Amino acid sequence: MRVALFSDTFLPKVDGIVKVVCLLLDHLAERGVESAIFVPRMDERQCYANTRVISVPGVTFPLYPDLKMAPPRLSTYRELKAFDPDVVHFIHPIILGLGSFLLAKQLHIPTLISFHIDFGRIAHYFNVGPLNLGFMEYLADFLTPLFFNWADYSLAPSRQIQRDLVTLGCRNVGLWGRGVDAERFHPRYRSNAMRARLSDGHPDETLLLYVGRLSVEKSLEHLRPVLENVPNTRLAIVGDGPLRDDLQARFAGTNTTFMGYLHGEELSQAYASADMFVFPSAIESFGLVVVEAMAAGLPVVASRVGGVCDVVDEGRTGYTFDVGDVATMIDGVRRVADDRAYMAEMGLAARAFAETQTWPSMMDELVTHYERLAQLKRR
């Protein structure tokens, strides 16, 4: 079986979408599935795992410099036709993906779209000068069912997103969940040295952890009242992004440590060396970091976005709250922080759940969808 993939973002960029795409390509290589991925040109990479990387020249997107606008070219059509895939998987098409969707239809290749970004809601967090782009929500909500219904099948990353897509009018929406590498994110990586770094030399206090992009839709400013209202707590923020300078100013004078990006074993140590994971984000498609924290043995206090309600068992592995409900978030943190035995019990339960969420099983479900769609081409 041959699978062609289209993604508007890829390495060397690091984010949740790229992480899922790379895990998928690794899995396809292990399963012996021949694959090629079409992406905007970011570097001179020509191969990843056993997947051929076909780059399309593009220009920087002014509102989001990490994104390249790369409309398909005649060479894209020729490459796709020559590869002759059994199915084409579009990783939430934007510029390259939407244009290439038409090419796949022209070549009568079965198509699958997976949802990864809620463009309609995230538009409210971007501005062009004094103009807020929230009005783009209506365009996104109009286009989403148009393209998702044109595909032969579509996949949502969480039950909440699946319900949202159906509400918009999308049909044939399946579920492609998210897994976790429970060996990479494991309590055994707990490190006294890392805990000292994260807590700025105060390892005996309750250490809250956030991991992710520092951007406006993550609502990280809501964590300051937690520090002010729950005694003896400290916050470590791992990650970077356009809001870092503003956040450092907002959290000045609080028990907050900005760690920047951490990778590899350092990231594993950061998860395992904290006491609790806090996640106030306003918008997520899933929230991979939540399951990574659970795998490391951390209770979670998170907003009800993306896949959070799919993975957090209320009162057993963590607490959830409505987006923007700071009072309930503070209450959840306090409940966990006030009882060390309860915190440890929740951490064990979180770890036990995370061990059931394996990437190979999630990816095999996707390969099953590929095989089913490939039969359409054979017929």
Residues 230 and 115 in one domain: no
Residues 292 and 341 in one domain: yes
- Residues 36-45 have pLDDT tens digits of 999 999 888 9
Which CATH number does the domain housing residue 254 bear?
3.40.50.2000
Q: Is 199 exposed, middle or buried (0-12, 13-18, 19+ CB in 10 A)?
A: buried
Residues 34 and 152 in one domain: yes
DSSP string, 216-280: GGG-GGGGHHHHHHSTTEEEEEE---TTHHHHHHHTTTSSEEEEE---HHHHHHHHHH-SEEEE-
pLDDT 10s per residue in the chain (379 long)?
999 999 999 998 878 889 999 999 999 999 999 999 999 998 889 999 999 999 999 887 766 666 778 999 999 999 999 999 999 999 988 889 889 999 999 999 999 999 998 877 777 776 656 767 677 788 888 889 999 999 999 999 999 999 999 999 999 999 999 999 999 999 999 999 999 999 999 999 999 999 999 999 999 999 999 999 999 999 999 999 999 999 999 999 999 999 999 999 999 999 999 999 999 999 999 999 999 999 999 999 999 999 999 999 999 999 999 999 999 999 999 999 999 999 999 999 999 999 999 999 999 999 999 999 999 877 7
Residues 102 and 224 in one domain: no
Residues 277 and 136 in one domain: no
Residues 173 and 234 in one domain: no
Residues 7 and 143 in one domain: yes
The pLDDT score that the predictor gives to residue 127 is 65
Residues 115 and 233 in one domain: no
Take residue 273 and report the two structure tokens written for it. Answer: 């060396």
Q: Are residues 42 and 10 in contact, defined by beta-carbon separation less than 8 angstroms?
A: yes
- What is the domain count for the chain? 2
Residues 168 and 198 in one domain: no
Does the predicted TM-score (pTM) go above 0.85? yes
Residues 116 and 229 in one domain: no
The pLDDT score that the predictor gives to residue 128 is 59
Q: For residue 38, give its domain range.
A: 2-179+358-378
Residues 175 and 258 in one domain: no
The pLDDT score that the predictor gives to residue 80 is 97
Within 10 A of 231 (CB to CB), how many other CB atoms are there?
11
Which residues contact residue 89 at a Cβ distance below 8 angstroms, ignoring those fewer than 6 apart?
3, 4, 5, 6, 111, 112, 113, 114, 370
Residues 82 and 118 in one domain: yes
Return phi, psi of residue 27, to 5°.
-70, -40
